[in-house]
Structures are given as structure tokens and as C-alpha cells.
Amino acid sequence: MPRKLYKDRLIKISVFNDITSDERVLEFFDPAISEDEPAVVVSNIDTAWSGAQLSTNPRISGVPVDFLAWVLQTAQGMTRQ
């Protein structure tokens, strides 16, 4: 599972293709929010990035906006690889 540095912590990123929906999925695990569940999921990623969708974990009361901006920038960069 890749990890990328955000501020002072390593964010785990799970990358997989969902065979039931034919979507590429990136799950972002922030240890400051939850070790066991992704805080944010970016899915439905196509090569043009226009169909991407962002979901936050409903069991988390909130996700900082600067973290969301970092997630989107990171996910977009990972889809271009």
C-alpha cells in the first residue's frame, strides 16, 4: 500500500479496481482521523478526471478542507501515472 506524506504524517493509500463497477478506487487512510477506515475515497476515475467522485466516511464527523484539497491533488497525480 503506497504512503504519501501530508504535513507531519504518512497517509496510507489503497489503490484498486472495483470489478463490480469497473471503477478505479483510491482510499485515503489518515492516522489522525482513523487507522482502520478510509477518511476519504476517490472513485469513478477516468483518464480525463472529469468523472471522478469524492466520498467522505459517514462515520467521521468532518474532514479538514486542506486535507481534501491534498487528497484531490494526490489522486489526480496518481491517475496520470
Average pLDDT score over residue span 67-75 = 94
Given a contact cutoff of 8 angstroms between Cβ atoms, the answer to whether 39 and 67 are in contact is yes
The per-residue pLDDT for range 37-46, each reduced to its tens digit, is 999 999 877 6
pLDDT for residue 6:
97
Residue 28: predicted pLDDT: 97
Angle (nearest 5°) at CA 55 between 52 and 60 = 160
Is the pLDDT reported for residue 48 higher than 70? no
> Sheet of 40-43: strands edge to edge?
3-6, 9-18, 23-29, 40-43, 53-56
* pTM to 2 decimal places: 0.88
Nearest by Cα to 68 from 17, 1, 11: 11
Confidence band of 14 (pLDDT split at 50, 70, 90): very high
12: enclosing H helix or E strand: strand 9-18
